[in-house]
Structure 1
């Protein structure tokens, strides 16, 4: 089957955007490990620098998600989504199962509590608190953008994983 130019663009953007996003995840994970160490050691200059880098990485990952999804919905529903369903992948396919993404979420959770505690107790200086706030705002913006992208392609719909669980319950 020959692809239309619009479909070729969709496939290229989808693949490139996801590859770039994965690179961001890998770098984020490395920086999150270093941030955890810096917080534990109360190395506030390093914390500030890492928080700033992580904020930029989140902003860049949001941009790569937007790039990956910058094509008409029909290309997604007719070409890309079917490629994420059986027989091409296991039922209930989801990006949630990406091990680097799972690791990033776990690392974020692990560093968030001690960082918030350092901010709350005043042991972290104001510039670290401000940098942490910028990171958390960028994370929130990232999640909001992801929701918008999901809604664009599957308005009011369920993810493949949600559809899988719903069908399993019947």
Structure 2
């Protein structure tokens, strides 16, 4: 996604709307795939999550207090998304971006929102009360 977002920045700077539309559609499909994975994970039985998935997010596999917030690729993706969102909205507002590009951007934002909602499904099902591994870590070290 980061590679496509970087290419999207360049295409927007060049006002290459065909490439912008294509990249937005690709990013939407990638987000949809990630969302499907989250939905799949939320359908795991709780014992499988507790015995297999949750331990994979703890030592020795990752550092204590693991959080997706510390994933550098994910953080980069969020920063890149912010850098394209403003210019895309401005291009839509000023009429610079064609309607099909505006529609493609809207679909990407909708899929990003859907992705967050599916992440919440996992949290609600498997981490009642919402205590994250990071929160557990800080609570245990104080």
Instruction: Normalising by structure 2, report the TM-score.
Output: 0.88
Distance across 2 between alignment mates of 1:143 and 1:114: 23
Q: Quick one: which of 56, 64, 86 aligns to 2:29? A: 56
Assess, with a 3 A threshold, how the Cα gap between structure 1 residues 86 and 57 changes in structure 2: closer, same or farther: closer
- Which structure exhibits the higher relative contact order, with contacts defined as CA atoms closer than 8 Å and separated by 6 or more residues? 2
Distance across 1 between alignment mates of 2:55 and 2:26: 36
**Displaced runs of 4+ in structure 1, greater than 4 A?**
none
Q: Quick one: which of 68, 84, 94 aligns to 1:111? A: 84
User: Which residue of the partner structure matches residue 113 of structure 2?
Assistant: 140
User: Which residue of the partner structure matches residue 159 of structure 1?
Assistant: 132
Residue deviations 1:117-147 (CA, integer Å, cap 9, x gap): 1111111111111110011001000110011
Assess, with a 3 A threshold, how the Cα gap between structure 1 residues 58 and 73 changes in structure 2: closer, same or farther: same
Query: Cα RMSD over matched residues?
Result: 1.8
Assess, with a 3 A threshold, how the Cα gap between structure 1 residues 78 and 111 changes in structure 2: closer, same or farther: same
Distance across 2 between alignment mates of 1:80 and 1:149: 11
Contact 2:41 2:122 (C-alpha < 8 Å) held by counterparts? no
Which structure 2 segments of 5+ residues have no match? none
* Secondary structure class of the residue paired with 2:108: helix
Structure 1 range deviating more: 75-84 or 131-140: 75-84
Which structure 1 segments of 5+ residues have no match? 1-27
Structure 1 range deviating more: 75-84 or 37-46: 75-84
